[in-house]
């Protein structure tokens, strides 16, 4: 189903049915290309920046396989909550290896959404290569969503022999407009100068970040946010991103020995900013 450049579809998993996240125009193009690569068999790697829509594309690809192949593929989302963090993992490692092994044992189509907090991209590729040695390669269709793929292409080709790559493209003005329409509703985006927002942010806002900005504006009572408000939100998000990285590194250093202090190092979900209030 499509709506003004944004597509979505119903996906049914073992636990029930839901609608997949809508795709922006650039995500549609990449997903279509990536889906074709995956049909060829072997390993197909989707790569791009965090928040650019890798998970969204992988979920949509899952739904496409269901609709076209009439099979339930394995979709593994490697989250720290389920599999632990790479720097502090102990018993969770066995769960991770078991989950990947079970996916290869039970399915011909395996989709893995990686997370560098759980396992490095290279380590994940080595596990997948090991599993492919245990199963007929010509029967497996493996999709990996990674962030470090450009620097690992040589390793991927060496591990898998046959490997295809699809890069997540940068968003366009049309992608900004599509995400805003989905998040705010068509009736609430008419006052937003989307080209100005795109130019001011240099096209550097991911679909995920833009949707979070819209959610923040709605939570603060701005159902029709102005262009200035969205620009200010993007500036504040950029500042908080730097703080988050710094605090994350500090938590890694002290969290193990000083758990209480580590828990205190959390950012507020609604930062106070008089400039944001003045922007609308």
Digitized pLDDT (tens) for each residue of the chain, 280 residues in all: 333 443 444 444 444 444 455 788 999 999 999 999 999 999 999 998 877 889 889 999 998 888 887 677 899 999 888 887 764 445 557 888 899 999 999 899 999 999 888 888 999 999 999 999 998 777 899 999 998 666 788 889 899 987 899 999 889 999 999 999 989 999 999 889 999 999 998 888 888 888 889 998 998 899 899 999 999 988 887 776 655 444 445 445 444 443 443 343 343 444 444 444 445 4
Contacts for 95 with CB less than 8 Å, ≥ 6 apart: 82, 83
* Residue 91: per-residue pLDDT: 53
Q: How far apart are alpha carbons 12 and 56 in whole angstroms? A: 15
Domains in the chain with CATH codes: 2-167 (3.40.50.300), 173-279 (no CATH)
Nearest residue to 45 (alpha-carbon basis) of 133, 135, 160, 130: 160
Q: Model-level pTM?
A: 0.73
Amino acid 148: pLDDT: 66
The string of DSSP codes covering the chain is: -EETTEE--EEEETTEEEEPPPBPHHHHHHHHHHHHHHHT-EEEEEE--TTSSHHHHHHHHHHHHHHHH----EEEE--HHHH--TTT-STHHHHHHHHHHHHHHH-SEEEEE--TTTS-HHHHHHHHHHHHHHS-GGG-EEEEEESSHHHHHHHHHHHHSSEEEEEPPPP-HHHHHHHHHHHH-GGGSTT--HHHHHHHTTT---HHHHHHHHHHHHHTT-SS--HHHHHHHHHHHHHHHHHHHHHHHHHHHHTTT-HHHHHH----SS---HHHHHH-
CB 192, CB 180: distance < 8 Å = yes
């Amino acid at each position: 189903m499509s709506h003004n450049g944004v597509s979505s579809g119903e996906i049914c998993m073992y636990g029930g049915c839901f609608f997949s996240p809508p795709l922006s125009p650039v995500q549609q193009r990449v997903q279509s290309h990536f889906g074709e690569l995956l049909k060829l068999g072997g390993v197909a790697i989707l790569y791009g920046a965090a928040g650019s829509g890798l998970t969204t594309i992988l979920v949509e690809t899952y739904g496409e396989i269901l609709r076209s192949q009439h099979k339930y593929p394995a979709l593994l989302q490697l989250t720290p909550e389920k599999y632990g963090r790479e720097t502090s993992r102990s018993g969770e490692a066995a769960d991770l290896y078991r989950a990947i092994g079970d996916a290869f044992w039970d399915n011909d189509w395996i989709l893995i959404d990686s997370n560098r907090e759980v396992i490095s991209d290279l380590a994940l590729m080595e596990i997948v290569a090991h599993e492919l040695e245990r199963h007929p390669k010509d029967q497996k269709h493996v999709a990996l969503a990674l962030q470090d793929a450009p620097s690992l292409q040589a390793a991927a080709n060496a591990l898998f022999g046959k490997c295809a790559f699809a890069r997540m493209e940068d968003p366009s003005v049309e992608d900004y407009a599509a995400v805003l329409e989905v998040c705010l509703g068509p009736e609430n985006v008419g006052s937003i100068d989307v080209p100005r927002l795109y130019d001011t942010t240099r096209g550097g806002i991911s679909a995920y970040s833009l949707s979070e900005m819209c959610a923040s504006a709605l939570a603060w009572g701005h159902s029709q946010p102005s262009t200035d408000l969205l620009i200010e939100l993007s500036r504040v998000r950029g500042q908080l991103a730097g703080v988050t990285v710094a605090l994350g590194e500090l938590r890694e250093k002290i969290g193990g020995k000083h758990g209480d202090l580590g828990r205190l190092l959390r950012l507020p979900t609604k930062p106070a900013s008089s400039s944001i209030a003045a922007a609308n």
